[in-house]
């Protein structure tokens, strides 16, 4: 009898209680400082339930309550991590991690409880998990390259001030894409460098350029030096996108988007588009990390969540043996469904 069945048999109310308290703690952690009314709205719990839970958590010293709102204490942050691990065991997520890891033939899978499509605070917990893993592989004089996007921003946001190692270099893995400066690769590299008391280099170039423009940019000495360091990075942290969505974000021409559709592209990372079998079907002219660079990088950390990205994740990660994949529970469940429904199509 597994832990989930045992818990349901002896204490059927236990999983629900653990979920409720985990959701309350992670929501406080995500929005802090937060008031009771907003906490009730974000967790879809009644204000009376929130009041009772808050009182219990105050007594246990998991939260502090101030005029500005509630925040987690250090003990509360520790309990949040322990609850996350306990829920993984109760819901069988550890077994799903192993199954997905073996199926994709990658190094490791980390599943975070919850569904970021339904709860934005889950993305924060995914970022925390990726940041926590990243710390376990860091050392002096290491270089870290980051792509952009909301998932990578979640990783950077959940890195606390960490000065254990010296002479860390943080790099943007690609040029700018999209219009949101706060999730650009350059911005995130600078922010993480400050948290690690390290150094950083910026890549002053858009990510998608014509072939002629790309050749011109690569003649600039400062850009060439930065690109050389990016391609020799020790750790690469990257997001995964759906091919159709990323084609629009990259403002590809309608003819190219139709071509991607005809080629069966479902996933994208670093400007490379993959079909459901994991084969490269198209590459955009891009500055920064290239597909051939991945074999030389010691550590790959991918983070992506949401059911709608499940096929994209399979396509990008399949056979990437050095990769550690961080996903949410909703995405993991959908990947398991895809594996069981269409396994013959992914062989």
Q: What residue spans define the domains of the chain?
A: 3-88, 92-346
Q: What is the pLDDT of residues 217-267, one digit of tens each?
A: 666 777 788 888 999 999 999 999 999 999 988 888 899 999 999 999 999
For the cut 80, the answer to whether the pLDDT of residue 281 exceeds it is: yes
**Contact criterion met (CB below 8 Å) for 186 and 172:** yes
pLDDT at 226: 85
Distances (CA, A) of 227 to 134, 144, 148, 218, 240: 22, 13, 16, 9, 21
C-alpha closest to that of 154 among 134, 171, 129, 174: 129
Tens digit of pLDDT for each residue in 136-180? 999 999 999 999 999 999 999 999 988 899 999 999 998 766 668
The confidence score (pLDDT) of residue 137 equals 96
Q: Which two tokens stand for residue 243?
A: 């091919």
Judge whether 3-88 and 92-346 match in fold: no
1-24 pLDDT, tens digit each: 555 555 556 556 677 888 899 999
Helix (H, G, I), strand (E, B) or coil at 297: coil
pLDDT at 254: 92
pLDDT at 8: 58
Q: Is the pLDDT of residue 275 over 70?
A: yes
273 pLDDT band, cuts 50/70/90, is: very high
Of all residues in the chain, the percent with pLDDT exceeding 90 is 69
Q: What is the CATH number of domain 3-88?
A: 1.10.10.10
Cα–Cα distance, 233 to 145 (Å, whole number)? 6
The tens digit of pLDDT for each residue in 68-107 reads 999 999 999 999 989 988 888 888 899 999 999 999 999 9
Q: Return the CATH fold of 92-346.
A: Rossmann fold (3.40.50)
The angle at the Cα of 318, spanning 315 to 320, to the nearest 5 degrees, equals: 125
Which backbone phi and psi does 159 adopt, to 5 degrees? -85, 120
- Partners of residue 236 on adjacent β-strands: 145, 300
User: Of 25-29, 45-49, 51-55, 217-221, which range is least confident?
Assistant: 217-221
Contact residues for 2 (Cβ-Cβ < 8 A; gap 6+): 92
């Amino acid at each position: 009898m597994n832990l989930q069945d045992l818990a349901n048999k002896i204490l059927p109310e236990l999983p629900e209680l653990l979920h409720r308290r985990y959701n309350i703690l992670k929501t406080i952690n995500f929005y802090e400082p937060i008031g009771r009314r907003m906490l009730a709205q974000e967790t879809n719990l009644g204000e009376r339930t929130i009041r009772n839970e808050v009182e219990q958590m105050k007594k246990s010293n998991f939260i502090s309550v101030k005029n500005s709102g509630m925040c987690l204490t250090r003990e509360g942050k520790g309990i949040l991590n322990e609850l996350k691990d306990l829920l993984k065991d109760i819901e069988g997520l550890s077994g799903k991690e192993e199954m997905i890891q073996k199926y994709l033939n990658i190094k490791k899978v980390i599943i975070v409880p919850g569904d970021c499509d339904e709860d934005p605070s889950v993305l924060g917990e995914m970022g925390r998990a990726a940041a926590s893993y990243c710390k376990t592989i860091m050392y002096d004089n290491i270089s870290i390259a980051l792509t952009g996007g909301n998932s990578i921003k979640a990783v950077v946001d959940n890195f606390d001030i960490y000065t254990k190692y010296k002479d860390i270099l943080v790099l943007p893995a690609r040029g700018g894409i999209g219009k949101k400066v706060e999730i650009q690769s350059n911005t995130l590299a600078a922010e993480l460098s400050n948290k690690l008391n390290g150094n950083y280099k910026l890549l002053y170039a858009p990510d998608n350029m014509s072939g002629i423009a790309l050749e011109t940019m690569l003649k600039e000495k400062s850009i060439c030096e930065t690109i050389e360091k990016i391609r020799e990075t020790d750790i690469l942290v990257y997001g995964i996108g759906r091919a159709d969505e990323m084609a629009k974000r990259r403002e590809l021409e309608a003819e190219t988007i139709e071509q991607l559709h005809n080629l069966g592209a479902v996933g994208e990372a670093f400007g490379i588009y993959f079909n459901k079998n994991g084969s490269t079907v198209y590459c955009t002219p891009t500055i920064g990390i290239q597909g051939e660079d991945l074999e030389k990088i010691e550590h790959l950390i991918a983070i992506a969540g949401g059911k709608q990205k499940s096929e994209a994740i399979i396509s990008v990660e399949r056979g990437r043996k050095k990769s550690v994949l961080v996903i949410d529970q909703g995405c993991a469940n959908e990947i398991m469904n895809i594996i069981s429904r269409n396994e013959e199509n992914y062989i």
